Amino acid sequence: MRKKTINEWKENAKAAVSFDEKRKVYYDYLKTPEWHFISESVIKRDGHKCTICSSTDKLQSHHITYKHIFNELKHLEDLTTLCFDCHQNEHPDKARINELITGFDLRDDGIRRALKHANSKNPEWSESAFNFLKDYLKTHNEFMLEDVRMSSQNIIPEPPSKRAWGAIAVRGAKVGLIRRKGYQNVINPKAHATPATLWEVM
């Protein structure tokens, strides 16, 4: 199997919609030779013992932070060595990948709220916006959401929050119309050239 790049792992994680999908991406990553090498490097650095109880049994690498997820080899300070029991205590819910999942959940929640607000103002907004996106895809091979928003002016009512368009893109990705290709700086000067998703048509 071809080795995935750091950016590909990040793209897979960001494309995940449900909690189970996000967790699967993370757990698949933990099975890779790359992660095992990182984990062994951390355990060796810490003298082959738990940094909490000094046990040398059933050692594992624990993320202190997920700030550099998928790129830990350059940031081994993000990891520490724990025995199985101490590691379980650090993750009392055992199912939630704390910072990583929380970040995605906050993003998704913001998009859902924006969509709900848009539909409360105009019950037909999401369907109208999705149909507009489908028509837009017929004449474009790749795009950014700001391109779609600008093209929709005077055709689709502007939602209270532009983030509502994020839900339309997610829906397009879920049904296989589009996929994330990479990142590109936005044109809007108010956004200070912030990188945003570049989508491509399937």
- Domain residue spans of the chain: 6-90, 122-201
Q: With cut-offs at 50, 70 and 90, classify the pLDDT of residue 16.
A: low
pLDDT higher than threshold 70 for residue 192 = no
In this prediction, what percent of the chain has a pLDDT beyond 90? 35
Provide the whole-model pTM. Answer: 0.51
CA-CA distance, 100 to 26, in Å (whole number)? Answer: 9
Q: State pLDDT tens for residues 32-43.
A: 888 889 999 999
- The CATH architecture one would assign to domain 122-201 is Orthogonal Bundle (1.10)
> pLDDT tens for residues 122-152?
999 999 999 999 999 999 999 988 999 999 9
Q: How many CB atoms lie within 10 A of CB 159?
A: 23
Round to whole Å and give the CA distance between 122 and 156.
10
187: tokens are: 């044109």
Strands 178-185 and 59-63: unpaired
Tokens, residue 61: 């690498």
CA proximity to 50, closest of 60, 39, 38: 60
DSSP 62: E
Per-residue pLDDT band at 180 (split at 50, 70, 90): confident
Decide: 36 and 59 in contact? Cβ < 8 Å. no
